[in-house]
Each structure stands twice: as structure tokens, then as C-alpha cells.
Structure 1
Amino acid sequence: MRILMLVATSLATDTRVKREAAALVDAGHTVHVVGRSVPEDFVAGPGITTSSVGTSSVFRKEGGTSLQGRRLPWHLRLARWVLLPQHSKSSFTRWASGAYEDARGREFDVVHAHDFTALEAGERLAREHDVPLVYDTHEYWPGRTRSHRPTPVQRWREARVEKRLGDRAAAVITVGDGVADALRRDYSWPHITVVRNSFPLPTSPDPELTSPTGALYAGRLAPFRDLETVALASRTSSVPIELRGPADESWLDTFEPEQLTVSPPESVDEVTERLRRLGISLVTMAPGWENNVLAMPNKIFHAVHAGVPMVVSDVGEIARLTRELGLGRTYAPGDAQSLVAALNEVAADYPAVRAKVIAARDELSWPRDAAALTEVYQRLQSRPSGSSTLGEPGSTDPSGSEDDE
């Protein structure tokens, strides 16, 4: 099949989209991805082609200077907080319009829309070309954290659009069982498949490591990740803690790092090697937002790939998985001493905890999730004529709801 993917990211750092595209190519398909401000030197890989649409909005032209990262007086910070929802909506709307124009003259057999930002353009292209739509939502959109003023009317409208267009999709894919259950609850969708943000099985042997030398948080440095608690824990932790990742500079300007080492992002492979040297991965999340409760972030699977235990916020799905498989310890969000105690517990029982992480690799690595993804496309090719959805994986009835995930 000729697959058209739409995603409002630069692709260069979007491991999920790259991994899905490569898996579909390995299964015999071809993939074209329309991304957002894709770097000119980006190489997607064999069987994958790309094109790019810019990120302009009515508030800033393509390539214009962002206010993010600049120290602003209070009145400009307030204006940014007020206007940010309109800027984001304008930017994504213009990208979606450009993505539609880029794709409308192409030939494809299925449209794969990544996230809500690509859903409307994807549904329109699928309808006009009379091909199936796959909706791949990377998060629980109505429950996302937002660093701007409340927008309840916009959220309500977006939920209605997501429900209406998702009803028309031949298949819905999402990142974890928690998000899948929430979508079934909200929208009564029977056609959901879980494809997690997992990593490939490692190709090199695990290093000898009997005790940790540090703990690493590798991810976006921004609000709602409980990093303030991590900073407080660094005052008394005997395990040194590092933060590495792209930063929301407006947040970073007010962040007190205490004894933390804060550094720019590294490549995936560099993070893997750093995790293996330090020995513990921090997976932190602040409670209070439903998407955080349901999230199953890359960091969980990256730690499994690296073969290191983790210390995880006692929040929703990430805590459930950690306890269920013995991948590390949980701590109470907002409680620095609880975090220090969890780090000490992992360090004290390190060889046993690490062995459980390594034992979980087959269950929590990309081959399993790639198989779930390619099964969706196998069912797309064999679905009955006129069927609007595929039903659940393993269902013999295209409208059924049995789930074998």
C-alpha cells in the first residue's frame, strides 16, 4: 500500500513516526510523510519520502523570532499567556492547510494522520480520495496540560471534532491501554489498537553494572513534569541527578536547579549510553491532568531498552506498569524525601531490580508493537468492501469490540 502520513513535527526527533514508517516499509508498503519545518538535510530512510510545510501563524512569520527563551517584563509575559492559544491554533491550522495542499495531488491508498493536529486534513484527504483513514493519537487530547490561559470552549469543540472524524476512521491507534480506555469511554470507538512508544531490542550486550552512579531525566524540561521535586531531592540525594533535554526557556528561567546538573539534549543513542553509565532513569510526571495519568512516555521504554531500573512518579499508568513488572520504584509526586527514598531503594537492590527490567524487554520492546501496527494494515487490505471500521484486533466481526491486546 502507498501510505500518506501527516504529522505536525519536524520528524528529525520524532522517534514514534520514524519507527512506524520504517516498520510499514519493512512490511512491504511505501510511506510519504508530510511534516512540519522538516530540516533540509533530514534523511528518512529507504522506502520513505518526505515533504515539509512551514510553521507560520498570524502572530509570527516562518523563521520569525520566538518570544520563548527571552526574559520578558511582566506585561509581555501576561500578553503571551493570553495570546498563546490563538498563536498555537493559527500555527497548526496553517500547517494543516499547507499539508492538505501538498498532499492532495499525490497518489496514496491510505491516510495515516498523527495526532489531532493532522486529523481534519487527513480525514478530508481520505474522503476526497476515497481511501481509508488511520487516526494515530499520541496522547489523550482533551486531557493535555496547557501552559496558557484556560480554553474550555475550544476544548469542547475539539472533542466534538475528534469524535466525529474518529468515527469515520477505519482504525484508531494510540500509545497505551489507559488512553485507549479513555477514548472508548468518551467516544465509544470499537476500532482501537495500542502501539506503544517502545524501542527496538538492543543490539549490543548490556554492560556490567552492579550499582548506579547517578540518575538521569532525559526529556523536555518544562512545566507539569514534577522537576521542581527532583531539584529539591537533589539537595539530600546520595545519587547524583542529571537533567538533559530541550527546554521551555520561559519555565527554565524561573527554575531553581539546586544540586542538579542541567544540560542540553543528546541523540537517542547518546542518551542510551548515558543511562547505561549512570544506571537509573527518572520518569517524572505531575498529577492533576488526565493525560499525565494516562501517559506512557518514551522514557519508560528507553530505560527498558538501556536495561536500567527507573524511579517513577506514582501517577496512573506509568506507576501501574512499574509496580506490575518490578521495573523500579515509585515515589509520591511533590515529595522530595519520597523521591530520595525511592532512589536509595533502587540502589540498595540494584542487581535484582535491573534483572527484572531486562526480563521485561520482550514484552516492552518494538517488535511486539510493530507487529500490532502491521496487523492494522493487513486488516485494512482485507477488510470487507463498504466496512467503515476494522473492529478490534483479533475480532472476526468488523464491528466487534473484543480486545486481545
Structure 2
Amino acid sequence: MSSSPEQAGHRGAERGDTSRVVMVLTNFVTGDSRAQKIARSAAAAGWDVTLIGRAKSSRREESRLGDARVIKVPARMTGQTYRRTHPPRGLLGWLGYRSADLSRMRCEEQRARRHDLQVELWRARELGANPFHRMRLAWLRARLRWRGYLVEGRRRLYERSARRFQRRKIAPSAWDRIKTRTVCALSHDKGAWRYQPELTDFEIAFGPEIDKARPDIIHAHDVDALGLAVRAAARARKAGRTVKVVYDAHEYVAGVVRADPSWSPVMTHQEAKYISLADAVITVCHPLAEILRDRYRLLELPAVVANMPERDRPDEEPVSDVRTVLGLDPRVPILVYPGVVTPLRGLTTVVEALPRLPGVHFAVLVGERHRYVVALEERAAELGVADRLHILPYVKPHQVVDFIRTATVGIIPLLPTPAHQIAICTKYYEFMHAGLPVVVSDMRGQADLTRELGNGEVYPAGDATGCANAVRAVLADRDRYTKVYDAELLERFSWEHQVPTLLGVYTRISAAKAMRQASRRVGIAENHGS
């Protein structure tokens, strides 16, 4: 009696033939809620899961995440460091020093030579000098002066190149983008390795660890892990083993806007090169699934596994809540935003709306106090609302819902980018499970869902007045927006509802492998029999 591929895949997993899953992500694991939930859920379902991420220290670290094994490997990031200290040079830049280290060494060497010449002159005055020696000292003095002009000139040219490179990373010009895209398109992989040298660093750090784990399935989290997974599968194929690759597209790579103008074209090229070699593609929302299918002419629509909160979260140490941490009375309205903080996330809009919202506080959960966070605080001080802007540290991903539950409104003020137009952030679902109404900018994905559910208000992106009006509307009748959060809705928008799709992908591709191996064994047996 024949069996279905699904049944074959489950039996293979039970035997241990096709059950080893290695998940690869190039971040530090701790802040990646999606990777953590996938690892825990797959391991709980019986798969032998190893999650490979990056260590913050120079030591290899091992731990457990539920039934999954976590390995964090040190990445020396030699290429990235070299790129940072050896900025690209323009025409005049080629006359300057190549790096900060070389510039500093030459300046220190010049200073030492100058000090040594002072000793030579003192020695000549004390001991006397013949005409030949005086001529030599005159020559040394002239040579040192000429060399000083040269060293100083090259130092200034290097620093000019470095400043231009830093400015370009902060605010790249249209010419920067055109040049980068052209180089990446014409030079293919050379452009990738040159403009994003961390790809080399990741290959050196993660490649051997993936090979050592001898996976049956490699789950590549995000585009910078896709090439790692496919190259590891190619090495395994050369060694006689078949390894399946799952590409987990976390975002619309071609639509991402970053300060580094080379990131999007390089990573889009990497995605285009490797995605057709993946055995399955999963992603975070239906619009992105359709874009990936159409853009890369995939044979089937990628499976959608949205990054939603778990109904049954891991039992760990209890977490406080935002209202208790801020020490605010239950009647004081609190807007809350947990997540990545960059200019394109639009938090400046909310800060500028605070003067129009007397008594309303704004709590932002951030990973680090970087330049933009400081700029937010400075802007709040200019507007006289510094006492109502609160910068709080991150909590663990599975603790976010409980921490923000005592806030009043969840806010997502994204500014327009192609990626933001289709995105529905994880924090949106976290707001739902925390029972918070939402105020969102009019990015298409989140705006359409908000209007469909009736759980909040939408305002024009970047409009502080519109943001304030939307917040006032929600505060005026908060219960009207939160009553939609019944048990059925929360179950629909929960991680547990996503897990069957994820496991179905694993089962399908592992079953295909098991059936192919079985047919190969049958063919070998028939050849022996004949």
C-alpha cells in the first residue's frame, strides 16, 4: 500500500532520517523573535533543531531554547572592519593615505623624525660639526620639511575621503545610489563581496559550523543567510548528501531603504541569484509572497508564516509593565512603541504630535541609545515635552505583550518606503494580544488591516496634526476599538495558528527527499537483481 509524501516525511522524521534542521541567522539571536519561535516550535514537533547565530564575544557559546540547541559562533568581521577603515576614495582620494591606521602611523613617524632632528642639531652644536656634516643637517631639515608637507597633505585627503564616506552612509546622494547599483549590476558577485564585505565574514564564520552539523534541512533566516545555506547545500551535494534549503524572506529586500546605498541592490542580487535554488520559500505576509513569486518567477506561491505572538508563552521570570516602570497613574494615557528605531520609522512625527496631546506620554522601547534616539530627545526638549518622552530598554521578545499591556494605545508611525507599504510589523500583532487599540500611518498593509478590523485609526504618514487627531479619536472611545479582540480573532492572529503551515513545509520537502532516496534504493536493487 502506497503512502502520501506527508506520511513519508513524518515517518522519516520519526526514524531520524530527515529530521535534522539547521537554522541560520546572522544576528545575535536574542532579539529575533521569529527565529526563536520557529526553532522552539519545530523542536517541540519532533525535529532535531540547531539554531546557529552570532556570538557577541570572541568565544563559541552553546545553550538551549526549549528543545532546540542554540550555537553562537564568533565572527571576526575582518572584511567589514577593513571596509570601515578603508573607505572608497575619489580621484583626489587616491593621493591620500589608504587607511586611518596608515595615516596615523605616518604622522607619528614624522613627529618622531622631527624630534630626532632636534637631537642631531643639538649634538652638532655641542660637539661641533664639519662643513660636510652641516650640509647633511641642512639636507635633513629640508627633506623633513618637504616630507611634513606631503604627510599632512595625504592625511587631509584621507580624512576628506573618510568624511565623504560617512556622509554618504548617513544621507546618500542620488549619484551614490546610481553608481552603486551600476557597479553591483555589472560586476555581479564582485559587487556583493566588495560592497557588503560582511558576506565574506559570515561565510568564514558560519560555513564550517553548518557543515559540521550535517543538516537535512537548512532554514535560512533572511537574505544575508540565503547564500550561506545554498553554498552549504552545494558542498553537501558534492559530498554525496542531499540537503534541502528553506528561504525565510523576512522583508521586501528590493524595497528596503537604508543609509548604506549598496545594501538593497547587493542583497536584491543575492536574492535573485539564490532563491531559485531553494527548495521552499516562506515569508511574513501575503503581499510579499506575491511579489516574490512574480519578481523571481517562482513555480509556487511562497507559504505565509506571519510573525505573530504566542498564546502560550514560555514560563520564565515575571516581567514588570510599562506603567509601573514609568510610575504613572492608571488614568494617564500612554502611547507605546516597541521595536527598531530609525528615521524612517517615523517616531519624530509622534514626538511632534505630543504638544497637541496634553498629558499624553510616549514610551519607546529601544535596544540602544544611538544617534537618532538622542535626536528624538533633543526634539522633545525643543518642543517642551521632554518629560513626556520615555526611552526604555528592550524586554525579551516573548515578554513584550505582557510588558506593554498597561499602556493605552499602540502606535506604528512608519514613513513611506516600498517595504513599509506592504509590511505589517510584529508589534501590530503584539498590540492586539496586549488588548491595545492602534494608531497607524497610512502605509497600505497596516492601514487596510486596521480599517478591516476596526481596532484603531489611520492618519497620513508624517503628519503630526493628523497623528494627534487619530490619537484623540481613539482615546475618546477606547472601548469601541478594543471590543473586536475576542478569542476567535486572537486565535486567528496567533503564532499557534501559523505553526501547521511551517511544519507542512518541512514535511513536504523532507518527504520528497525520502521518496527520492527510496526510489534510488529500488533502482540499485533492480540493477543488482538483473
**TM-score normalised by structure 1 residue count:** 0.82
In the alignment, does 2:482 pair up with 1:354? yes
One of 343, 366, 374 as aligned partner of 1:245: 366
- The residue number in structure 2 matching 1:23 is 41
Give the equivalent residue in structure 2 for 1:227. 347
**Distance across 1 between alignment mates of 2:310 and 2:427:** 13
Matching of residue 170 in structure 1 with residue 191 in structure 2: no
Q: Deviations over 1:29-70 (max 9, x none)?
A: 011122112574854232323232325233538xx9xxxxxx
- What's the offset of the Cα at 1:373? 0.6
347-356 or 223-232: bigger deviation: 347-356
Give how far 1:211 is off.
7.5
- Is 2:53–2:70's contact at 8 Å kept on the other side of the alignment? no
Structure 2 equivalent of residue 367 of structure 1: 496
Name the aligned partner's letter for residue 283 of structure 2. Answer: T
Deviates more, 1:341-350 or 1:131-140: 341-350
Q: What is the CA distance between 1:370 and its match in structure 2?
A: 1.2
For residues 229 and 300 of structure 1, the distance between their equivalents in structure 2, rounded to whole angstroms, comes to 18
Give how far 1:248 is off. 6.4
The aligned residue for residue 307 of structure 2 is 197
Q: CA RMSD in A?
A: 3.0
Deviation at 1:311?
0.8
1:83, distance to aligned residue in structure 2 (A): 6.4
Amino acid at match of 1:143: G
CA contact (8 A) 2:26 2:225 kept: yes
> Using the alignment, how far apart are the partners of 2:24 and 2:470 within structure 1?
41
Which residue number corresponds to residue 280 of structure 1?
409
User: Which amino acid in 2 is paired with 1:144?
Assistant: V
Secondary structure class of the residue paired with 1:181: helix
In structure 2, distance between residues paired with 1:16 and 1:80: 32
Report matched runs for 1:293-304 at 5 Å. Answer: 293-304=421-432
Structure 2 residue corresponding to 1:33, chosen from 32, 51, 54: 51
Whole-Å Cα distance in 1 between the matches of residues 267 and 398 of structure 2? 36
Q: Which amino acid aligns with 2:433?
A: H
Q: What residue in structure 1 maps to residue 227 of structure 2?
A: 120
Checking the alignment, whether the CA contact within 8 Å between 2:54 and 2:73 is kept in structure 1 is: yes
Answer yes or no: is 1:58 the counterpart of 2:79.
yes
Matches within 5 A, 1:366-405: 366-383=495-512, 385=515
Q: Structure 1's 49 and 198: CA in aligned 2 closer, same or farther, altered over 3 A?
A: same
Deviates most, 313-322 or 48-57:
48-57
Separation of aligned partners in 2, 1:275 and 1:345: 20
Match of 1:90 in 2: 197
Post-superposition offset of 1:242: 1.7
1:232-261 deviation per Cα after TM superposition (whole angstroms, max 9, x unaligned): 001111432222212461323433134222
Residue 262 of structure 1 corresponds to 391
Deviation at 1:126, TM superposition (A): 1.7
Larger Rg computed on CA atoms: 2
Shift of 1:191: 4.4
Instruction: Specify which structure has the higher proportion of helix.
Output: 2
How far has the Cα of 1:93 moved from its partner? Answer: 2.6
3-state DSSP of counterpart to 2:70:
strand
Query: Percent of aligned pairs with the same residue?
Result: 25
Amino acid at match of 1:165: Y
Provide TM-score, normalisation by structure 2.
Answer: 0.64
* Aligned match of 2:174: none
Cα distance, 1:269–1:165 mapped onto 2, change above 3 Å? closer
The number of residues matched between the two structures is 370
Paired residue for 1:390?
Answer: none
> Structure 2 residue aligned with 1:236, among 334, 356, 362?
356
Q: 1:356 to 1:51 in 2, by over 3 A?
A: same
1:14, distance to aligned residue in structure 2 (A): 0.9
Contact 1:304/1:358 (8 A) holds in 2: no
Residues 155 and 202 of structure 1, relative CA distance in 2, 3 Å threshold:
closer
Q: 1:371 to 1:270 in 2, by over 3 A?
A: closer
Residue matched to 1:307: 435
CA distance in structure 1 between the partners assigned to 2:80 and 2:507 by the alignment: 43
Residues 334-353 of structure 1 mapped to structure 2, 5 A cutoff: 334-353=462-481
Is residue 251 of structure 2 the alignment partner of residue 131 of structure 1? no
C-alpha displacement at 1:174, in angstroms? 0.6
CA contact (8 A) 1:112 1:133 kept: yes
Cα drift, residue 195 of structure 1: 0.7
Deviations 1:302-345 (A, max 9, x none): 11221211111110211111111122111111111111111111
In the TM superposition, residue 116 of structure 1 has moved relative to its aligned partner by 1.0
The 10-residue stretch of structure 1 (182-191 or 334-343) with the greater mean CA deviation from structure 2: 182-191
- Residue type of the partner of 1:110? I
